[in-house]
Structure 1
Amino acid sequence: MFIMYPELQHLVDSLATALSRPATVEDRRQRLVVYSRHSELPDAVRRASILQRHVSAEVLAWLGRFELAKARHPVRIPGNVSLGMLPRVCVPIRHHDLLLGYVWLIESDKSMSSEEMTLAETATQDFALALYREVLFGELASHRETEAIRNLLLCGSDVQADAARALIDGGHFDPSLGVVVLVARPVLTPDTEPDDRVWLALERALVNTRHRLPARHAVHLVSHSDGVLLFGTEGEADELTVNRWASQFDHALQTALAGLEQVSSSLIGVGQPRPELAQARGSYLEADQAARIAASMPDVTRIARWSQLGIYRVLAQLLSQDPGELVLHPGLERLFTNPEALPLLQTLETYLDLSGNARATSERLKLHRTSLYYRIQRFEHLADANLKDGNERLCLHLGLKIARFTGRYRPVG
């Protein structure tokens, strides 16, 4: 639900009338707060801002060039044809030195005069007081909700019950519902770190998905590295319902992350349903682990359901304590440290994945059958292993999967 801010609405309408041009106000994270009356939506960016409550990652990247968060005075932003964006003026809203948001004015027909720029800048003093009062109050309420969700997911059972009660009493979640937890995790390109744009993209995907659900059916939590959605289920949570909302969330996530150069893909882990909100931590731990497994195992789908992870689910639980000292197989350990052995390891893993079917392995790897047999024999020699021994095959196969999961073995491609 979009929150109304009466004082801010009056101020933005007054400024738009004085300047004879429509205006919008965003918070410091560039999320729409209020907007004046528009006879028409002048460009695609303003249209997205009003209709979808946010703009794309590409637009945020373009605006990031102008370091608006550091601005003390109005900043002129040139148009960008590829983004469907007309020239506009951004006026920072500050309370003393604290950045609270921005006023946006489009220069579609003519540029603003210096007098108009001064008028807009002066008006931000009133905007600052209103934002400080109204938005800060909303952020305090949001902080209480966020704190309750953190306690629900991360603390002990006694605290979890109190946190669930706080969310229910605060009108955020229907007490008659069960709960399923989804964890979304962006996959970053090498040598990059998540920034505010990733945080905003996660927030938008979560909010968009949450708004599609009925009232009091969902809450969410976001950090720079992942986003968590808790959604309510009525009665027995059937697989089709869970899959549908996981797909909706995935679509929102893909849309929100599009254009962020530091994000190569994204993953969603899906926990098992729980009968009441106070038990959400169990579903969260499963969803978090499913997302971790999906990041380590390329044969796991982008939407990874805990219930469908098979042997990986078992490995995750076995390795949840301290897998670092685990000795997998003496021969494997030697080859893990030898970069030249990587093709042999990848060949062996595929061969074992396909139950020792040489024809299927050759086709999967696009490898001649003779070359396949050579690699298998070469591996047996270097690892001092015997693939005719069923127990040793099991040990090697399990060792490769554990090594993937713990990062000791990282195949290419």
Structure 2
Amino acid sequence: MRDELQALIDSLAERLGRSVTIDDPELRLIVYTSHRGIVDKVRLDSILHLQPAEEVVRHIRSLRLGGEREDVIRLPAVPEMEMLARACAPLRAGGEHLGQLIVIDAEDNLSDAERQMIADTARSAALVMHREKLLNDIAAERVRALLRDLIEEDDRVRDVAGRALAAMNDDIRPPFRVSVLELRRDELDPDSVEEQTAVVDHLVRRATRHAPGTVHLTRSDHVLILHPKASDQYDLTLQTLSQIRTEVIRGLGVDGDLHTGVGDRVSTLQRVRHSYLQSRRALYVAVAVPGFGPYVEWSGIGVYRALAELASAGLASGVVPEGIHELMQTEAGIELLRTVEIWLDQATDVRRTVELLHVHRTSVYYRLNRFTELTGLDLQNGGERLAVHLGLKLARLEGSYQAPLPRGSVPRPAARVQP
């Protein structure tokens, strides 16, 4: 596509004796000609950084070029931005705004014939871009289908999908790692879920455009991201995840608490399901237990790996001591459980528990004793203490117990992925 677009604008620039560029709808530079005639700082910045300065982007977006129906629009100069006047031809095809063709026109002296050349070139460029978009959409749908097959239980289905996916792109090479980003569907209007999924899919595709071989699948409540050539240091994984998370948060206008689960590396595409299940479990823990931060690795959550397996299998309720279930029914009982949980998280360090709860030392001892009186569970007994601790964590994972924890009460795992 780029070669065809380049040939089109080189020919136009030669005939006009002016500089020409083509941007995408987000004003990112796609192709540009060598300098001809007068140029300005905006053009130079765009070539150097592949996008104009943020204030220029905001200004041009405010003009809503995608809604214009004219073939060629004049954009007035903006001296404070060191931006000369321009002739702009929106690129439209298939009912979509695909970008814009820009010609610097500082003197406002384009003839009607020259304006027609610009319009004709823009139409040809739009058809090239529309064709490329259709091909990309077909390829993306094929990738989505193969990713769905890669996480199926059937070994034969995964084997066929793995070989097909590897054949599609030379950048899809081992080792692999899967990460998942949560999507909060409960915050959306049910009638807008399909539209929102398309928006997320576009945002993720945009965020991964500079990550060769990275492919994704947007599902109802999460985005699956397959990272190829996964380094042991997580550098590329973290970079890609950060870009995706930032794009989704900004694009959807949600708060910054979206969590991400990261699975272990696997050596083949046929083993991607293994990493995917780990990433889902890690995300499950990150959402249910405060204190883990936005990026949570399966390999860094310690005992929560076993607890997550129990909870996902629906076995949590049977493991949680009955006395804990009873205390969950009242606010006073929940406060007792919260104190016991924080005390256990701090390895029974009363001094640290007092600091986190901001209460007197005697209050902590009173609550611990009261817990034993009401439940019959002896916190001085190592076995029962372990049962209580695991029970509270399982109750959190299954959602029956959600008492807030003070910042710093749950030590973060020693993970290599950091915000």
Deviation at 1:161, TM superposition (A): 0.8
Deviation at 1:162, TM superposition (A): 0.9
Distance 1:250 1:94, change over 3 A: closer
Give runs of aligned pairs for residues 107-186 of structure 1, distance below 5 A: 123-154=121-152, 156-173=154-171, 178-185=174-181
Counting matched residue pairs gives 390
Distance 1:202 1:128, change over 3 A: closer
CA RMSD of aligned residues (A): 4.6
Distance 1:19 1:365, change over 3 A: farther
C-alpha separation in 2, matches of 1:344 and 1:106: 70
- List alignment gaps of at least 5 residues for structure 1: 212-217, 234-239
C-alpha separation in 2, matches of 1:297 and 1:100: 44
C-alpha separation in 2, matches of 1:78 and 1:164: 53
Task: Identify the range of structure 1 (379-388 vs 128-137) with the bigger mean alpha-carbon deviation.
Answer: 379-388
Contact 1:100 1:132 in 2 (8 A): no
Distance 1:92 1:291, change over 3 A: farther
Tell me the amino acid that sits aligned with residue 401 of structure 1: K
C-alpha separation in 2, matches of 1:85 and 1:350: 59
Distance 1:380 1:64, change over 3 A: farther
TM-score normalised per structure 2: 0.72
Deviations 1:100-141 (A, max 9, x none): 512153879578989688875564432332223333234333
- List alignment gaps of at least 5 residues for structure 2: 407-419
Contact 1:186 1:263 in 2 (8 A): no
C-alpha separation in 2, matches of 1:78 and 1:330: 73
C-alpha separation in 1, matches of 2:89 and 2:376: 70
C-alpha separation in 2, matches of 1:191 and 1:81: 43
Residue 247 (structure 1) aligns with: 238
1:223 aligns with 2:218: yes
Residue 353 (structure 1) aligns with: 345
Contact 1:77 1:90 in 2 (8 A): yes
C-alpha separation in 2, matches of 1:323 and 1:79: 67
Higher Cα radius of gyration:
2
C-alpha separation in 2, matches of 1:196 and 1:55: 27
Task: Identify the range of structure 1 (357-366 vs 68-77) with the bigger mean alpha-carbon deviation.
Answer: 68-77
Residue 410 (structure 1) aligns with: 402
Contact 1:202 1:227 in 2 (8 A): no
C-alpha separation in 2, matches of 1:335 and 1:178: 49
In the alignment, which of 269, 272, 275 is matched to residue 280 of structure 1?
272
Residue 367 (structure 2) aligns with: 375
Deviations 1:328-366 (A, max 9, x none): 333433443445655433322111112222112112333
Give runs of aligned pairs for residues 3-402 of structure 1, distance below 5 A: 4-14=1-11, 18=16, 20-26=18-24, 30=26, 32=28, 34-37=30-33, 39=35, 42-43=41-42, 47=46, 72-73=69-70, 91-95=89-93, 97-99=94-96, 101-103=98-100, 105=102, 123-154=121-152, 156-173=154-171, 178-185=174-181, 191=187, 198-208=200-210, 210-211=211-212, 218-223=213-218, 225-232=222-229, 241-253=232-244, 256=247, 259=250, 261-322=253-314, 326=318, 328-339=320-331, 341-380=333-372, 385-402=377-394
**Corresponding residue SS for 2:229:** strand
Distance 1:112 1:330, change over 3 A: farther
Deviation at 1:15, TM superposition (A): 5.1
Deviations 1:268-292 (A, max 9, x none): 4332233322222112221222223
Tell me the amino acid that sits aligned with residue 98 of structure 2: G
C-alpha separation in 1, matches of 2:197 and 2:76: 24
C-alpha separation in 2, matches of 1:283 and 1:345: 34
Distance 1:358 1:5, change over 3 A: same
C-alpha separation in 2, matches of 1:284 and 1:166: 19
C-alpha separation in 1, matches of 2:360 and 2:208: 48
